[in-house]
Amino acid sequence: MYKIGVLGAGTWGMALARMLANAGNEVRVWSALEREVEEFSKTRRHPNLPKMIIPDEIIFTKNIEDVCTDVDIILCAVPSPFVRSTIASARPFIKDGQIIVDVAKGIEANTLFTMTQVIMSEINKDGSHGNVKLVALSGPTHAEEVSLDMPTTIVSACHDMNAAELVQDIFMNTCMRVYTNVDILGVELCGAMKNIIALASGISAGLGYGDNAKAALITRGMSEITRLGLKMGCMEQTFSGLAGIGDLIVTATSMHSRNNKAGYLIGSGMTPEEAKKEVGMVVEGINALPAAMRLMRHYHVEMPLTYAINAVINEGADAGETVRKLMERGKKSEIDKSVSTLDFESSLLKSKKDTGMRRVMTYGGFDLLHYGHINLLRRAKALGDYLIVGLSTDEFRAKEKGEPCFFDYQKRKELLLSTRYVDLVIPEDSWSQKIPNIKEYHIDVLVMGDHWRGKFDYLRNYGVDVIYLPRTPEVSTTMIKEEVKQGENVPD
Ligand code: C2G
């Protein structure tokens, strides 16, 4: 069994804490609200989940260190606006390499970071948490139903499939079926944006419209979220999966959903403030709107529903009038043109700079690609969402290392691109190209093995995080060559 530290005693955090404790795990729960800690510890009840009994084995604490040290998993279950500050308080107690599972759904308005990117950027401020593994756990999961052990499915998403599969093992049981996905950005984008469409669905119902309008909102809402996601480099299957359409259906059709409920109250005539007060819990769809509007503009994606909801929630537009305008829009085809050229990809890279999407760069020869290289590439990719490798050319390698690589540049490039981590390979033919590369590709993080420690610190002056990761000590290209040579010399 596992030791789980839970940050946040809200509805979702407590439903999961109960499930994990009942599965035999050791579960400790921290809350910033002392009264919650005392009340839940004593009553073993949660006000938002009246039918749920909190297992006696769950330990509550107001000391954040208690849930961050000596645990296999930290579960971040605080509302999205409090993720950054909570991680800042927890950082001193979190060891490098820790697996953190995020269930908060949202996008940070000023950075446009998803929640796992917020966690990574906050926890690695000290540069000594480069190996923390972040897993997003997201899907069609009403806490109320999970708290009653009703059958549920969810997605465990991480660049590192090992981490995603460990979380799958921990959270899987006869009532919770967990699927893995490597597209963490797509999973998190869906989790944040679907709350906005759920608001729309609630507003529609509040205006007295029926299932036809609800189906239209769900379908066209998923279509615009998918358009945005593809422009951000996500995988299309994610949007037709559990974290995508699955979560949107469950959120937009159920009165369990706060977003749907808040939307209904607004459609019925309440102001957003009155509706939020009436719902009494965090309405993530309203929190996600500022970021959604910025993403829409940065990626030049047409998202009429998101635009319309923002007008109603943040600009005082009349809901009924807004629906009429939506219905009177120009004619459209359902089939978007698809774009996939490299020119688009480099223009996407250029536009990504302001949207907080993190681009990582590393350099090397990567000859006779081995697991030491893969360990480096995997950890480098986990620091962002797009990994570029500056691959030493044959000439550069011969000049700098005195001997050519075993595989030529094309073969080494092909091998790198066949891995799950590398998104783009460019030639490295001079030591001085790192600064122009950083500017041209809007690099946020430079990653190198720690035998280079200190050598590239000067790049920090160009706004780049420079992170040195421990080499995999027992393997190297030179060692492989020598062992093969010795093997050749061994008499039959
Ligand atoms: N690496 C590692 N563990 C190993 C071997 C290599 O982590 N056992 C890392 C290195 O630290 C480097 C990357 O994998 O970050 C590529 O390694 P090499 O091909 O040996 O590249 P290097 O000689 O470090 O050249 O401009 C910088 C140079 O191109 C880097």
pLDDT one-digit tens code per residue, 309-328? 999 999 999 999 998 888 88
CA distance 417 to 190: 27
Q: Residues with Cβ < 8 Å from 329, sequence gap 6 or more?
A: 304
- Give residue 400's pLDDT band: very low, low, confident or very high (50, 70, 90): confident
- Residue 401 CA to ligand 1 center (angstroms) comes to 12
Q: What is the pLDDT of residue 346?
A: 57
| Residue whose CA lies nearest to ligand 1 atom number 10 | 449
| Residue whose CA lies nearest to ligand 1 atom number 24 | 364
For residue 179, the tally of other CB atoms under 10 A from its CB is 17
Which of 368, 369, 373 maximizes ligand 1 atoms within 8 Å of its Cβ, making it the mutation to test the pocket? 373
CA distance 57 to 319: 48
Lining ligand 1 with CB less than 6 A are 362-366, 372-373, 375-376, 392, 428, 448-449, 451, 471-472, 475-476
Q: What is the pLDDT of residue 488?
A: 67
| Residue whose CA lies nearest to ligand 1 atom number 4 | 372
449 Cα nearest atom in ligand 1: 11
Beta bridge partners of 59: 28
Q: Is 261 a catalytic residue?
A: no
Residue 179: name the closest of 141, 206, 149 by CA. 141
Contact 196, 289 (CB under 8 A): yes
Q: What is the pLDDT of residue 344?
A: 54
- Residue 417 CA to ligand 1 center (angstroms) comes to 17
Q: How far is CA 234 from CA 102, 182, 225, 229, 367, in A?
A: 19, 10, 11, 5, 30
CA distance 275 to 266: 6
Q: Which of 161-165, 167-171, 350-354 has the least mean pLDDT?
A: 350-354
Q: Is the pLDDT of residue 235 over 90?
A: no
- Give residue 68's pLDDT band: very low, low, confident or very high (50, 70, 90): very high
Instruction: Over range 97-107, report the average pLDDT.
Output: 95
Instruction: Over range 150-172, report the average pLDDT.
Output: 95
CA distance 233 to 184: 11
- Residue 362 CA to ligand 1 center (angstroms) comes to 9
Q: What is the pLDDT of residues 375-392, one digit of tens each?
A: 999 999 988 889 999 999
- Residue 121 CA to ligand 1 center (angstroms) comes to 24
Contact 251, 194 (CB under 8 A): yes
- Residue 477 CA to ligand 1 center (angstroms) comes to 9
Q: What is the pLDDT of residue 255?
A: 80
- Give residue 353's pLDDT band: very low, low, confident or very high (50, 70, 90): low
Write down the catalytic residue from 194, 214, 276, 381: 194
- Give residue 492's pLDDT band: very low, low, confident or very high (50, 70, 90): very low
Which of 363, 430, 451, 477 maximizes ligand 1 atoms within 8 Å of its Cβ, making it the mutation to test the pocket? 363
Phi-psi region of 281 (alpha: psi -120 to 50; beta: other; left: phi over 0): beta
Q: What is the pTM of this model?
A: 0.66
Q: What is the pLDDT of residue 339?
A: 46
365 Cα nearest atom in ligand 1: 19
Q: What is the pLDDT of residues 449-481, one digit of tens each?
A: 999 989 999 999 888 999 999 899 889 999 999
- Residue 278 CA to ligand 1 center (angstroms) comes to 57
| Residue whose CA lies nearest to ligand 1 atom number 17 | 364
Burial of 427 (0-12, 13-18, 19+ CB in 10 A): middle
Burial of 162 (0-12, 13-18, 19+ CB in 10 A): exposed
What mean pLDDT is reported for the chain? 91
Residue 359 token pair: 């681009």
26-46 CB burial, b ≥16 within 10 A, e <16 = bbbbbbbeeebbebbbeeeeb
Instruction: Over range 167-172, report the average pLDDT.
Output: 97
Q: Is the pLDDT of residue 333 over 90?
A: no
Instruction: Over range 174-196, report the average pLDDT.
Output: 95
φ and ψ at 107, to 5 degrees? Answer: -130, 130
Q: Which of 278-292, 329-343, 475-489 has the least mean pLDDT?
A: 329-343
140 vs 485 pLDDT, higher one:
140
| Residue whose CA lies nearest to ligand 1 atom number 29 | 364
For residue 171, the tally of other CB atoms under 10 A from its CB is 23
Q: What is the pLDDT of residue 18?
A: 98
